[in-house]
Amino acid sequence: MRIDILHGDITTRPVDVIVNAANSSLLGGGGVDGAIHRAAGPELLEACRGLRRSELPGGLPVGAAVATAGFRLPARWVVHTVGPNRHAGQTDPALLASCFGKSLKAATGLGARSIAFPAISAGIYGWDARQVAEVAFDAVRSFWSSPGAGSGSPLELVEFVLFSEDTTAVFRAAFEASPGSGA
């Protein structure tokens, strides 16, 4: 498995899955969520409304993940996950780790070979980008080393696609300092 850290627009990535830092309503919002909904087209909103009518009438819980088609995106699928909101008192790193782990599990279930993540919860939800990066890298490595999950996954590439240069620099520094980075 390869981990890449890129500065750019996640909606343009030619990967099998992009991860949406969604809100629990799944009906679009600002930031990454709004950008993904705009790029995917109205079909994504309709697919999310369908999920709300059927299996998720109360919305997607924090730390959970669910997949839809990617519609007009280069990515075949979108995995939606709801990150914890520090401003709302959701400060447990396990909730954040769950977003990454459950997204990887969903992508594996789809047979995806590549996935791109944003900095889940690092924006308006108030988490420090360095902590998000550390939790994300730990979650990816834990998934990969877990028997029956990552070890049997078709995933070959995990990208972290960050919109700001500052966040990209923070993720790169955290990756270089993390165990198993090869640095």
* Residue 14 resides in a domain: yes
Are 155 and 103 in contact, with CB atoms under 8 Å apart?
A: no
Domain count, the chain: 1
Are 137 and 3 in contact, with CB atoms under 8 Å apart?
A: yes
Q: What pLDDT, on a 0 to 100 scale, did the predictor assign at position 7? A: 98
pLDDT band for position 150 (50/70/90)? low
* Residue 119 resides in a domain: yes
pLDDT at 183 over 50: no
Rg (CA), the chain: 15
Q: Which candidate, 69, 58, 63, places its Cα nearest to that of 26?
A: 58
* Residue 138 resides in a domain: yes
pLDDT at 107 over 60: yes
* Residue 182 resides in a domain: no
Q: In the chain, what percentage of residues exceed pLDDT 70?
A: 95
Q: Give me the catalytic one of 33, 92, 128, 166.
A: 33
- Over the stretch 68-103, which tens digit does the pLDDT of each residue have? 999 999 999 999 999 999 999 999 999 999 999 999
Q: State which residues form the domain around 53.
A: 2-177
User: Mean pLDDT for the chain?
Assistant: 94
CA distance 39 to 178: 33
* Residue 133 resides in a domain: yes
pLDDT at 120 over 80: yes
Q: What pLDDT, on a 0 to 100 scale, did the predictor assign at position 20? A: 98
- Is there a catalytic annotation at residue 16? no
pLDDT at 149 over 90: no
pLDDT at 4 over 90: yes
CATH, residue 82: 3.40.220.10
* Residue 71 resides in a domain: yes
* Residue 26 resides in a domain: yes
- Over the stretch 40-65, which tens digit does the pLDDT of each residue have? 999 999 999 999 999 999 999 999 99
* Residue 183 resides in a domain: no
